[in-house]
């Protein structure tokens, strides 16, 4: 009976968490008066060779800034130049206008107060978590509090955009459709990637509003020591999950460039923080991700996220990463058993392919000899024969 009651409690906490996130996000997006985030759709242009640039702009309701960007105007006097004096074909003019419109729409869709605030809070929050991990101060209870704080601040309060996944997803989709690069997005992507390099996938681990939500859901279904699931949890082989994630990334990129189609947009899980725009497709996919998070560690990150794939590649050169001191390690494998994925087993025995490590700190906490830490430098290799069958802890 006690076991059944514990499982019911897990499901109750899960439903309560999702309900709170959705309801608070509805309130938050209303308070922020969120702007539409999609770029303008292409519309036919009214275009005549005898038109001046100014007449062309007025006929198509184009702001002067769009005209200036598209036609490379130097001053107001250039508006009186005739279109045919530019020696540009109709297709070339249309392409330039579409690119300038897309950039203007991207700038207009962003909240330039919220975004800098969000990055400042991200850096401060991640610095605090980094210090706590370095000092081995992350406990199961504190871990949940930190995840809940990340969800509340970076998701519910400050919204879906920007997010690690969106920087790559939107950059590829926009370039595929309009052949446009949005500079602020590339700056955000660079910051996120530098955070991955600085400390083992840290932005994904502790800052991503969808990643932390999945992680907190997973932890709701764990015992008090955060070492085992209450409802049975599984750890998919990394070869499978990474193959699926890679194939999806290639399909997404191919569709963006070949057909100007964004395959992620209709199933974007970050829309949980914009619940008013969730459609049937988003709702079904989001529900699958959230329910799966009870049983599989961060399924969206492992099977789906484009940034997760790039981050996995870059974490190989992270300055700080989870490492083992084999001089004090007794080979009990408590870290691998408690790890929510297969990564700690791979790190412990230095497998050739090491899966995503989200630096959650579970391994640090459960190690009986304090042999695991978040440390700088290259990981050392275990002594030969340390983990052969029959070794301590086998």
**Which tens digits make up the pLDDT trace of 314-330?**
998 999 999 999 999 99
Long-range contact pairs involving 254-257 (C-beta distance under 8 Å, separation at least 24): 255/176, 256/172, 256/173, 256/175, 256/176, 256/177, 257/175, 257/176
At 36 the pLDDT is 56
Contact 206, 146 (CB under 8 A): yes
User: Phi, psi (5° rounding) for residue 234?
Assistant: -125, 155
Reported as half-sphere exposure (CB side, CA atoms, 13 A), residue 295 has a value of 9
The tokens for 372 are: 């695991």
pTM for the whole thing?
0.90
Per-residue model confidence (pLDDT) at position 392: 42
In this structure, which CATH number among 3.30.930.10, 3.30.870.10, 3.30.70.20, 3.30.9.10 belongs to the domain 319-376? 3.30.70.20
Parts of the chain with a pLDDT under 70: 33-43, 49, 388-394
In this prediction, what percent of the chain has a pLDDT beyond 90?
68
pLDDT at 386: 78
pLDDT per residue over 253-300, tens digit each? Answer: 999 999 999 999 999 999 999 999 998 888 999 999 999 999 999 999
CB 284 within 8 A of CB 177: no
For residues 231 and 113, what is the distance between their CA atoms, to the nearest angstrom? 42
* pLDDT value at residue 34: 56
Q: What is the pLDDT of residue 155?
A: 96
Q: Can you give the pLDDT at residue 35?
A: 56
Q: Where are the domains of the chain?
A: 2-35+112-312, 53-109, 319-376
Decide: 122 and 196 in contact? Cβ < 8 Å.
no
- The reported pLDDT for the residue numbered 49 is 66
Which has the closest alpha carbon to 211: 319, 289, 278, 159? 289
What is the CA 105 to chain-centroid distance, rounded?
23
């Amino acid at each position: 009976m006690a076991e059944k009651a514990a499982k019911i409690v897990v499901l109750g906490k899960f439903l309560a968490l999702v309900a709170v996130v959705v309801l608070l996000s509805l309130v938050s997006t209303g308070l922020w008066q969120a702007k539409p985030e999609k770029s303008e759709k292409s519309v036919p242009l009214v275009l005549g060779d005898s038109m001046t640039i100014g007449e062309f702009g007025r006929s198509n309701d184009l702001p002067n800034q769009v005209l200036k960007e598209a036609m490379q105007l130097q001053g107001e006097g250039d508006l009186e130049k005739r279109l045919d004096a530019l020696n540009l074909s109709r297709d070339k003019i249309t392409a330039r206008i579409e690119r300038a419109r897309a950039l203007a729409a991207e700038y207009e869709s962003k909240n330039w107060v919220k975004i800098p605030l969000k990055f400042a809070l991200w850096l401060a929050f991640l610095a605090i978590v980094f210090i706590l991990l370095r000092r081995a101060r992350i406990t199961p209870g504190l871990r949940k509090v930190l995840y809940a704080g990340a969800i509340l601040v970076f998701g519910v309060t400050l919204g879906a955009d920007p997010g690690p996944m969106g920087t790559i997803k939107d950059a590829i989709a926009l370039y595929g459709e309009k052949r446009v690069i949005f500079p602020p997005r590339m700056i955000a992507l660079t910051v996120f990637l530098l955070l991955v390099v600085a400390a083992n996938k840290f932005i994904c681990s502790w800052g991503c509003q969808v990643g932390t939500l999945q992680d907190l859901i997973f932890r709701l279904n764990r015992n008090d020591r955060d070492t085992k699931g209450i409802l049975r949890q599984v750890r998919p082989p990394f070869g499978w999950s990474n193959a699926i994630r890679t194939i999806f990334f290639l399909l997404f990129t191919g569709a963006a460039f070949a057909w100007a189609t964004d395959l992620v947009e209709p199933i974007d899980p970050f829309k949980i923080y914009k619940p008013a725009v969730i459609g049937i497709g988003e709702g079904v996919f989001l529900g699958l991700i959230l329910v799966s998070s009870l049983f599989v560690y961060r399924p969206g990150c492992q099977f789906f996220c484009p940034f997760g794939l790039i981050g996995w590649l870059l974490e190989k050169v992270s300055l700080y990463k989870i490492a083992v001191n084999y001089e004090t390690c007794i080979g009990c494998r408590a870290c691998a058993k408690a790890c929510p994925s297969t990564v700690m087993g791979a790190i412990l025995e230095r497998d050739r392919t090491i899966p995503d490590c989200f630096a959650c700190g579970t391994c640090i906490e459960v190690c009986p000899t304090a042999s695991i830490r978040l440390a700088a430098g290259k990981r050392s290799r275990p002594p030969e024969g340390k983990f052969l069958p029959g070794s301590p802890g086998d």
